[in-house]
Amino acid sequence: MNKIMIVEDSEDIRSLLQNYLEKYGYDTVVTTDFTSVLDMFLREKPDVVLLDINLPAYDGFYWCRQIRQHSTSPIIFISARSGEMDQVMAIENGGDDYIEKPFSYDIVLAKIKSQIRRAYGEYAVKQGERIVEFEGVQLYVERFELRYQEEKCELSKKESKLLEVLLERGEKVTGRDRLMEKTWDTDLFVDDNTLNVYITRLRKKLRDLEVPFSIESVRGEGYQLRPLS
């Protein structure tokens, strides 16, 4: 059952969307605290987000950018704004589709189905999509998604870049400068501690997935992947 997250400050519209989607078999979660949209997204891990633009505290563009740092899950904007520039901004901020209010619930349902097919279904793995593998672990580079056996987790863009280099190198030692250059497109002005923070995050995600290797430090050289004994 696919999970849909509804971020809409109108209680009437929110309830109608929730009831309609649940009628067609979707699991739904709704946001009522509009200062912690990202926290809810990371906790609930929805398959699709319906996101209003005009929200209290921060607008939908802001929350879309925050989500995109962690996930490539489809985001469909729903807004009363009908201007072309708003639709352009929705796309430029990471949105996948745009629906104007007032809307047909059938259109909303059709667009959700389309995004689910594209992201997870029959169109999900397109020819030419890059997948990096090591010891049975698969990194879907463009999706920022890591899979092992039946489990998966989402990565931030920089975590994905960093892990891509490590998986490609495998048990070969990769220097810190090379990792910083590949991840940040430069080895200048990047604090060593920043790299350490990302390595620590990746180690935790790899442990949570129970993958058969770990990221190990090589003193004075960099990092390498080592099979767990």
pLDDT attached to residue 171:
92
**What's the rounded Cα separation, in Å, for the pair 220 and 85?**
51
pLDDT attached to residue 75:
95
For residue 122, pLDDT over 90 is answered with no
C-alpha triplet 195, 199, 205: angle, nearest 5°: 150
Q: What percent of the chain has pLDDT above 90?
A: 57
Q: How many residues does the chain have?
A: 229
pLDDT attached to residue 186:
55
Q: Residue 44 is encoded by which pair of tokens? A: 């609930």
For residue 111, pLDDT over 70 is answered with yes
pLDDT attached to residue 130:
81
Please give the model's pTM, rounded to 2 decimal places: 0.58
Residue 189 DSSP symbol: S
Q: Where are the domains of the chain?
A: 3-120, 131-227
Encode pLDDT of 7-16 as tens digits: 999 999 999 9
Per CATH, domain 131-227 is 1.10.357.10: no
- Residue 210, classified by CB atoms within 10 Å of its CB into exposed (0-12), middle (13-18) or buried (19+), is exposed
Average pLDDT score over the chain = 88
pLDDT band at 128 (very low <50, low <70, confident <90, very high): low
Encode pLDDT of 72-107 as tens digits: 889 999 988 777 888 888 888 889 899 998 889 999
Encode pLDDT of 34-70 as tens digits: 999 999 999 999 999 999 999 998 999 999 999 988 8
In the block, residue with structure tokens 């997935």: 209
Superfamily of domain 3-120 in the CATH hierarchy: Response regulator (3.40.50.2300)
